[in-house]
Chain A
Amino acid sequence: MTTVSFELTVNGRLRKATVPARMLLSDFIRQELALPGTHVGCEHGVCGSCNVVLDGKAVRSCLMFAVQAEGSEITTVEGLARGDDLHPIQQAFWEEHGLQCGFCTPGMLASAQELLAENPDPTDDEIREAISGNLCRCTGYEFIISAIRSAAVKLREADTETTLQPT
């Protein structure tokens, strides 16, 4: 089995694929599904820019083979907004200047989604710990921390499910 066929759900859509077994999940998402919002920085697990939410958990898509995601549900950054309405976490990043170049942002959003789903009112230290595996070369992190703090408030107010799957 050097070529594999499988199905998975990405951003609420069922996708079928036949790809080489060695294809990384990150490349599968970017190239096969044409969803380039998931970024690839280091390809060895260090930078976190490739993080996606898989069955509710943030994972490094560069450290999984696509076939391993068979049967799971993945949310990438493209799955967050509803039409023109940004997801509350995206809105908070926008308002608090939680990004500059934006390279790290999709991964940061994945880590933030998992954190806020499990801990709706995190302390700043808990936020720092949650994004400690996501490198940002621009912001100095402080605005990202403010953004996640603000997103927590928005989500609590809206009482919204944080791992949104578009319907």
Chain B
Amino acid sequence: MKPSAFRYERPADLPAALALLGSGGDTRILAGGQSLVPMMNYRLARPDCLIDINRLSELDYIREEDDVIAIGALARHAAVKSSDLIAAHLPIIAEAYDWIAHAAVRNRGTLCGNLCHADAASEMPAIMQILEAELVLSKTGAQRSVAATDFFVGTYETAIAADEILTELRIPKPAEKTGWGFEEVAMRRGDYAWCTVVATLQIRDGQIASPRIALAGVNACATRLGDAERALAGQSPEEGLFAEIAQDAANRAEPQESAASDAEYKRDLIRALLPRVLGDAVARAR
């Protein structure tokens, strides 16, 4: 249970960090360490070099930029959880944090690190997909922006390249009167999800508009439910419809089994949680 030896680098600014990333070998970013260090302790990860970004205070922010909430790479879970900006514009994130890890882990872990780690049972990847967040990936001399729906590729797999750092998460403020729902079942609060269902929608002239739904903890990575969204759009919100959509989503899921929750149980959870989430979202949208 001890990490193997590595070269430790602690750059003082972003350009220095980016320059080090290009240096080859298995070089990793060390952010909060709340996922990477456990993997190193188990020797599931044996990087040659760690680039500790904890002194890059330029990346430690949560700020409002017109219609976007921008969150820097060094914003800790605890700061996001207690942020007034998040509470005002993105309450689903604040709610979800009651289910993510524990105080001591949230004190160090970062939201951006959580997204880069891309655990299949992690909540935020699903939430960032329905909020249609953009992830800003920086490398020396260049920057690109990737939609959250394209960022998550598989379990522990993302669109980030070896010479890139996720420097900023950009979340558009949801439209007025956007309703949202969040439901999770896990062994205990703070544990990784067996099944998380999240949704946002609006009600226009009594009908559902812009529904966005995602799942975590079920498939190989967090996924948007495009079929369910299409089936909901333009319909009037009714329990019968929600149950049908949930049944269909359960059939289409490809659950990853674990000792504690097998595939059939996960399908049950989708059937149970999806209608509740839609009901909550509708109630909040009114």
| Chain A interface residues (CB < 8 Å from chain B) | 1-2, 4, 20-22, 24, 27, 43-45, 48, 51, 57-60, 62-65, 67-68, 110-111, 114-115, 129-130, 132-134
In contact, A57 and B107 (Cβ under 8 angstroms): yes
In the A-B complex, the 6 residue pairs with the smallest Cβ-Cβ separation, listed nearest first, are A133-B102, A21-B8, A44-B38, A63-B37, A43-B1, A58-B104
A58: chain B residues within 8 A (beta carbon): 103-104, 107
A44 to B36, CA, bound (A): 10
In contact, A2 and B6 (Cβ under 8 angstroms): yes
A133: chain B residues within 8 A (beta carbon): 101-105, 190
A64 to B78, CA, bound (A): 17
| Chain B interface residues (CB < 8 Å from chain A) | 1-10, 33-34, 37-38, 41-42, 50, 52, 54, 78, 98, 101-105, 107-108, 188-190
In contact, B5 and A111 (Cβ under 8 angstroms): no
A20: chain B residues within 8 A (beta carbon): 5
In contact, A44 and B41 (Cβ under 8 angstroms): yes
A24 to B2, CA, bound (A): 8
Given contacts A22-B3, A63-B34, A111-B104, 18 further A-B contacts (CB under 8 A): A21-B6, A21-B7, A21-B50, A24-B3, A43-B38, A44-B42, A45-B38, A62-B37, A63-B105, A65-B8, A68-B54, A115-B103, A130-B103, A132-B102, A132-B188, A132-B189, A132-B190, A134-B102
In contact, A45 and B37 (Cβ under 8 angstroms): yes
B103: chain A residues within 8 A (beta carbon): 58, 111, 114-115, 129-130, 132-133
Number of inter-chain CB pairs below 8 Å: 90
In contact, B107 and A45 (Cβ under 8 angstroms): no
In contact, A22 and B5 (Cβ under 8 angstroms): yes
B258 to chain A, nearest CB (A): 16
Q: CB within 8 A of B105: which of A4, A60, A129? A: A60
Are A60 and B104 CB-contacts (below 8 A) given A24-B2, A45-B34?
A: yes
Chain A CB within 10 Å, residue with most, of B50, B103, B189, B190: B103
B54: chain A residues within 8 A (beta carbon): 68
B113 to chain A, nearest CB (A): 12
A44 to B38, CA, bound (A): 5
Are A67 and B8 CB-contacts (below 8 A) given A48-B102, A130-B103?
A: yes
Are A1 and B9 CB-contacts (below 8 A) given A44-B42, A57-B107, A63-B108?
A: yes
B102: chain A residues within 8 A (beta carbon): 48, 132-134
A116 to chain B, nearest CB (A): 13
In contact, B107 and A68 (Cβ under 8 angstroms): no
B42: chain A residues within 8 A (beta carbon): 44
A110 to B10, CA, bound (A): 27
In contact, A2 and B104 (Cβ under 8 angstroms): no
B41 to chain A, nearest CB (A): 5
Are A22 and B2 CB-contacts (below 8 A) given A45-B34, A133-B190?
A: yes
A102 to B2, CA, bound (A): 25
A65 to B104, CA, bound (A): 15
A61 to chain B, nearest CB (A): 10
